[in-house]
Chain A
Amino acid sequence: MNEALAISASGLVKRFGERRVVDGIDIAVPRGAVYGVLGPNGAGKTTTLRMLLGIIEPNAGERTLLGYRRPREASDRVGYLPEERGLYPAMKAREAIAFLGALRGLDWRIGRKRADVLLERAGLAHAADSKIRKLSKGMAQLVQLLGSVVHEPELLVLDEPFSGLDPVNQENLERLILAERDRGATILFSTHVMAHAERLCDRLTIIAGGRARFEGTVADARGTLPMRAHYVPHQEGPGIAALLPADAVRQADGWRFTVPEGGAEETLKRLIDAGHGISGLSIERPGLHDAFVRIVGGEEMSA
């Protein structure tokens, strides 16, 4: 626990009945970072976030939120978008945002003023006086999201914020997250969609089966997999497979294989010598998606 961390937790355990939903998770979120909690469905992401926020108490373990060992005492400086969205259907959008702010200690009048600004910026100015029940699900979700930042929290916790949004609004949300980071907030969000995490996260942790399987930057995660090569020969021939590494797979647009440990030069030299030539070649790290699948899948198989 130190000043550089917005959240730190060690050995968090949560049992529901006999099942250990969270089984000893450590987490350390630096201040000012965008931090992702990744994991498949049912991995324990939501339960972990709830414990970090003090909504539920862990069976074991310690956590510190903005320096408080009782997370609830920091509640006025935290914004939270739960996975199960919910607003009062009879409230108008502006009031709903002001209410969420008021729960966190923001004056109602200031809340209403900021709500207008936020709605305007999100392109929802026309909805300020609409009741929540009249809004589409995606719009209501945006309203709730605005309500979770209206009091300008130091820490913003978003549980699966992208689910239920169309691609345009997903873009808007990414922009909003980055804007909050630029304001100085720390952002912790969970997702099982890798593309967002890959673009946004400074650091991330991958949870599966109630345990952390990986902790580090996106580059670190991708670095757990070797480079992959995509090779298109100039001259196809029957002997080509024998010259490529054992895992090479032929696809419609060429061959794909894992770059061997010493690099790709040896293989390429053999191919050129054999007269197959090189029409196309790319060598790159696999995406976070592949890393995620390998980390989660591999662990599950070994578990």
Chain B
Amino acid sequence: MSQAPAPSDAPSNARRLLRQTLTIARRDFVATVFTPTFLLFLFAPLIMLSFGAVGGLGAQSVAQGADEKERIVALAPPASIAALRATDERLRSIFPRDEQPPQLLVRPAPPAPALHARALFDTRETDTAAVLYGPFERPQILYGPMGARASRYLAALAEATLRTERSGGPAALSRPTLSPVARTTTSLGGRNASAFFSVFGIFFLTLLLAGQAVGTMAEERSNKVIEVLAAAVPLESVFLGKLLGMFGVAVLFVLFWGTLVSQVGSLAPAGLGAALSQLSPAIGLPTFVTLFFAYFTMSYMLLGAVFLGVGAQASTMREIQMLSLPITIVQVAMFGWAAAGAGQPDSWTAIAAQVFPLSSPYAMAARAAQSPVLWPHLAALAWQALWVAIVITVAARAFRRGVLQSGTAKFRWPWQKAL
């Protein structure tokens, strides 16, 4: 009794598995990307952004219109007008542009300043936020409904002008030296911001993209391609291949928008640039970016594998639609858990979230922001990859039993010899 063909050895077996997986992945990627629907998917954020932009512009123009017409008025003795203007200019320079007090109008004090001041609130051309009159030792300040802050500014202005006059001129009494100092360690605020950013970023991307995996096996089941696939390729390869194909689509999506947003700053939501510049992950930015991507991959693969496996059991589109709610809830729960521990990476909540496979990518990304130690990440990535393999194996077995009605061949490690 001899074997006619030489049994394949372990490396070529592994190579074949890889090749089969990539064939499936390629098919799924191509089938997803080269369709008109994909463009809709790719540009979906544009819809969101354009709505946001339109709303933002509207609100901005309304606010700007009001801002520009708002005034504060000082009815000052003619001798003090120059000093008052100079002081206003000096004090105003401390405020950032958006937060400056309304423009100051300085008028010589009329004979009956109280009445005149009161009348200023009723003019039609401008909105008067606050009016100052009377001597600077006892300034009288009237303010309208939005003028509380402006009134305090006018009080400070009167005080400062008076001090300038009393001290004999606008020359500065003190001579400050301003020297910038950079922290050598990351700030607590920056670390916390990074931690939350990473948890939220991974969650957001996964929520947008991993849910797609739930319906991918439905295609093969409905058009009966599954039998051809199952005959030619191990189901594990089919599952992993489909997952990789969908992940490829997700990466394309992220790269497209990442490139666009980084090149065209105006597309980014307002304040994103400022928020990003505040990120100071404890582990260092380049490593953090690498880990962020690695954990996004793992989070996608893990949740995607679970969804794919569960979705593969569903026999109709209706069942798949019903599954989307529990899936979203699972994701939000994982996000909430990881976010709860994001501030304290060594608390029990955080450690549990780091160990539990589904929440581990979120929680470990937060940890990268909080702690500079590298080895737990290598361990976590290996741990998560192991779970991806476990989930895919279990999903493939369940599919074989439930859908193909087959038993499972005896387990064999990939490096064991054939026969």
Contact = CB atoms under 8 A, between A and B. Distances in A.
Contacts of B231: 53, 55, 75, 78, 80, 82
A88 B31 contact: yes
A286 B190 CA distance: 91
Interface of B: 1-5, 7-8, 13, 16, 19-20, 23-24, 27, 31, 35, 219-220, 223-234, 400, 404-409, 418-419
Contacts of B35: 90
A291 interface: no
Interface in A71-105: 72-78, 80, 82, 84-91, 99-100, 102-105
B227 A82 contact: yes
Nearest to A100: B228
Nearest to A91: B31
Contacts of B228: 80, 82, 86-87, 100, 103, 144
Interface in A57-79: 57-59, 66-70, 72-78
Overall SS of chain A's interface? loop
Contacts of B400: 56
Given A55-B404, A88-B27, A90-B35, A68 B232 contact: no
Contact of A57 (B20, B224, B232, B407): B407
B224 to A, nearest CB: 3
B4 A3 contact: yes
A45 to B, nearest CB: 15
A39 B20 CA distance: 34
B227 to A, nearest CB: 4
Interface of A: 1-3, 16, 50, 53-59, 66-70, 72-78, 80, 82, 84-91, 99-100, 102-105, 144
Given A73-B13, A144-B228, 20 more contacts: A54-B409, A55-B227, A55-B230, A56-B404, A59-B407, A67-B5, A72-B409, A73-B7, A74-B5, A75-B233, A76-B16, A78-B231, A80-B228, A88-B31, A90-B35, A91-B31, A103-B20, A103-B23, A103-B228, A104-B232
Contacts of A99: 23, 27
A70 B419 contact: yes
A1 B3 CA distance: 9
A103 B7 contact: no
Nearest to B35: A90
Given A2-B1, A67-B5, A68-B7, A87 B223 contact: yes
A78 B405 CA distance: 22
A66 B27 contact: no
B223 A16 contact: no
Given A72-B234, A82-B228, A104-B232, A1 B1 contact: yes
Contacts of B23: 99, 102-103
A89 B224 CA distance: 11
Contacts of B226: 86
A105 B418 contact: no
Given A75-B231, A75-B233, A103-B23, A89 B223 contact: yes
A48 B231 CA distance: 13
A67 B2 CA distance: 9
Contacts of B13: 73
Contacts of A73: 7-8, 13, 418
Contacts of B16: 76, 105
B31 A90 contact: yes
A-B pairs, top 9 by smallest CB distance, nearest first, are A86-B224, A56-B406, A103-B232, A57-B407, A82-B227, A86-B225, A67-B4, A3-B4, A84-B224
A77 B23 CA distance: 17
A66 B234 contact: no
19 contacts: A16-B405, A50-B406, A57-B407, A57-B409, A59-B407, A67-B3, A67-B4, A73-B7, A73-B8, A75-B232, A78-B231, A82-B224, A82-B227, A84-B224, A84-B227, A103-B24, A103-B232, A104-B232, A144-B228
B225 A87 contact: yes
A1 B232 CA distance: 23
A86 B8 CA distance: 30
